[in-house]
Amino acid sequence: MSNAGTPGEDSNPGASENPQAAGNDMPDMPSGSSAEQPPPPPPSPAPSPEGTHSPGSTASTASVPPPPAPPLPSAGANEPPRRRRRGFLIGALVAAIVLLVPGAVFAWRALDGGGPQPHDVLPADTLGYVRLDLDPSASQKVEASRFLDTFPALDDVAEFNGDEDLREVMVDKMAEDAGCEIDFGQDVEPWLGDRAGMGFLPPRDDGTDPDVVFVMQVNDEDTAASGLETLQECGGGEPEPIPHTFVDGYLILAAEQDLADEYAESARDSSLADNDEFVDAMDRLGDPGIASMWFSGEALVEFADTSMMEDQMDTSDEFGNDPMTGMDPGAPDMDQLREMVEQTYRSIAMTVRFDDEYAEIVTAATGDLYKELPGGGVRADVPEDTTMMFGFVNGNQYLQDNWEFLTESAGEEMAMMENMVTAMGLSLPEDLGTMLGDNLLVAVDANNLDLDALTRFGDMESLRFGMRVDGDPDAVSDVWSTLEEMAAMSGDSLDDVPLTTTDDGYVIASDDAYAGELTEGGTLGETDSYNTAVKDADDAHAVMYLDAGVLTEELTSQLTAEGVEPEIIESIQAIQAFGYSAHLYDGYTEATFRIITD
């Protein structure tokens, strides 16, 4: 993975803060999509077989909470009717840019050429950012087209080839939806550039949603201004002026003219390219691809602080709030939330990339919590025909390093549990770490899957599953003996728990035969399918793999019986596997989710 950005793209020096006022909702403009949440730390072990208790379940670690979802601009539904929707076609144009699926997936290489990027014309205090390249190279369009062509159900969005101009397709779609005549070659092509972006900015008023600004690269400002007039006149009715201005070869679209001017001036003084958070996250992400997103966790917390205060002060004490302050006593402490974000989601970046064999979503999150784990990656040495596997490496070390942070939100409850466990002869987190071991794998064999019995009746008889942990077998035996004594003292027994110690640790499985297969190991980690689905599998600290073959066979059989369209069934059958990998580094984590096709 590349950790360095390319000059002139999404890599920038220095940082400076430039707080500014910003406007309310974008009238008649579509809202953006929220970024996908970043990956959590390595997963906890799966539940033990039904009717048993996993030895590792004496205590559970608190998972790092997900980042706050980025607030979206409201739709302006409460505004009074206008003579005509101002900038309706510009709004439709932006909607086409943001929502047209193929436009967001046609490449993964960095933008060609130099010159300003969309982040160069957005203010430094931007809360979130989305970037698109509207004219990727022909080779990259071909790669995405090949991938999308494997899904017949996506014919409507996969009809592109290396010779088509995505901008023209986008404008034609917008014109069709708007019901008006637009000649791309005459009305748009002379001025529309190849890059576009959208920024979420701090709201002008406390308790309101972030404002939205759209930026579009233009080839000529005068021609672009004339083109805007042509677009706003399309569709009939009395047009209203479209608030806009220009900065460094970009068209700036805002809710009001004074806001467009203000954003432009702020960007000239200090742009998002000067924001250290942004630069760091995008550098960690590596190649930003054709489409990328970024959000500042710290900035969103400050926004959430203001919004929560506003909401809580407006809530009556009949709902359980403090009668003196109107505050919900169960509401999260903002100082704790700030610390959590600083530790785990200080800054979040995401991109979508394509190959003719797979599509991937890559995220990078920065935070003080993340520390590189020693040793190699997860050893996926389970049977080759394993249907699903997930695992993580060095869970013991991860738990020791992060125990305080993972449990601090539990407060007094965790302190009581630790005291109780200590009184029974165990120690947290040390003994829990022993059970997590150095390499933990959970595997499922669904080759005899009865999907109907599983989904309708919860019958798991057709599944074989188990967990194998590599670690210190002597330490495992000591912890297990203590757990057995604890169970006996409470009148229970662990005799029915199928735990077997091995030379390398222990295994728990649904039956003895599968326990033997897991102990013997296998070659899943050597297969092409696994290594394509799981990015950089050899050194990944957490992985997930799902062979879709068995599931799609069962699922498509049911869907066929229900009369589902053939193209949907064929599209499901095209999926070969899903994969996930996470890598921990000092100061950030990177995670990749992939879907691969036959």
The CA distance from 257 to 240, in Å, is 12
DSSP letter (8 states) at residue 7: B
Q: Answer yes or no: is 472 within a domain.
A: yes
**Listed residues 287, 309, 326: the one ending a domain:** 287
Give the whole-number percent of the chain exceeding pLDDT 90.
37
Position 351 in a domain? no
More confident residue, 414 or 529: 529
- Indicate whether 132 and 229 sit together in one domain: yes
Query: Does 417 fall in a domain?
Result: yes
User: Would you state the pLDDT for residue 136?
Assistant: 59
pLDDT at 179: 74
Confidence (pLDDT) at 465: 94
Placement of tokens 């979040």 in the chain: 348
Give tens-digit pLDDT for 478-499.
999 999 988 888 888 888 889 9
Same domain, 283 and 172: yes
Q: Looking at 12-16, 251-255, 505-509, which range is the least confident one?
A: 12-16
**SS3 label, residue 22:** coil
- To the nearest whole number, what is the mean pLDDT of the chain? 76
Segment 342-397, tens digit of pLDDT: 778 889 999 988 888 898 999 999 988 898 888 789 999 999 999 999 999 999 99
Last residue within a domain, chosen from 258, 287, 316: 287
Mean pLDDT is lowest, of 44-53, 322-331, 392-401, for: 44-53
Confidence class for position 294, pLDDT limits 50, 70, 90: very high
CA 286 to chain centre: 16
Q: Is 598 a member of any domain?
A: no
- Give me the mean pLDDT over the 232-249 stretch: 80
Claim to verify: residue 274 and residue 385 sit in the same structural domain: no
DSSP single-letter state for residue 185: I
Please tell me whether residues 382 and 274 are part of one structural domain: no
Closest CA to 278 of 516, 10, 87: 10
450 and 551 both lie in a single domain:
yes
* Chosen domain end from 287, 303, 330: 287
Q: Within 379-450, where are the H helices?
A: 395-407, 412-423, 430-436
Q: Could you tell me if 406 and 272 lie in one domain?
A: no
Domain contains 253: yes
The token pair at 328 is 């919900």
The answer on pLDDT for 587 being more than 80 is: yes
Q: What is the share, in percent, of the chain residues with pLDDT greater than 70?
A: 70
How much is the pLDDT for 557?
A: 83
Domain shared by 438 and 560, yes or no: yes
pLDDT of residue 306: 58
Q: Report whether pLDDT(545) > 70.
A: yes
Looking at residue 486, its amino acid is: M
Highest mean pLDDT among 147-161, 295-309, 355-369, 467-481: 467-481
ω into 239 cis (within 30 of 0): no
Q: 197 and 215 in contact (C-beta within 8 Å)?
A: yes
pLDDT digits (tens, 9 = 90+) for 67-116: 333 333 333 334 444 334 444 444 444 444 343 333 333 322 233 345 78
- Does a structural domain hold residue 195? yes
Residues 6+ apart with CB under 8 A from 361: 36, 350, 351, 352, 592, 593
Does one domain contain both 470 and 379? Answer: yes
Distance CA 296, CA 294 (A): 7
pLDDT band at 163 (very low <50, low <70, confident <90, very high): low
Q: How far, in Å, CA of 448 to CA of 1, rounded? A: 38
**CA pair distance 111, 288, nearest whole angstrom:** 8
pLDDT digits (tens, 9 = 90+) for 506-526: 999 999 999 999 999 999 999
- Both 529 and 402 in a single domain? yes
pLDDT score of 554: 79
Residues 141 and 235 in one domain: yes
Residues 130 and 267 in one domain: yes
Where b means 16+ CB within 10 Å and e means fewer, 184-217 reads beebbeebbbbbbbbbbbbbbeeebbbbbbbbbb
pLDDT of residue 401: 87
Residue 58 lies in a domain: no
Scored b (16 or more CB within 10 A) or e, 534-567 reads bbebeebbbbbbbbbbbbbebbbeebeeeeeeee
40: confidence class by pLDDT, cuts 50, 70, 90: very low
Q: What is the dihedral of CA 503, 508, 513, 519, to 10 degrees?
A: -30
CB 279 within 8 A of CB 11: yes
The whole-angstrom separation of Cα 310 and Cα 70 is 17
> pLDDT at position 411, please?
65
Work out how many domains the chain is built from and give that number: 2
Question: Does residue 311 lie within any of the structural domains?
Answer: no
Same domain, yes or no, for 121 and 255? yes
The whole domain housing 514 covers 370-587
Mean pLDDT confidence for 214-218: 95
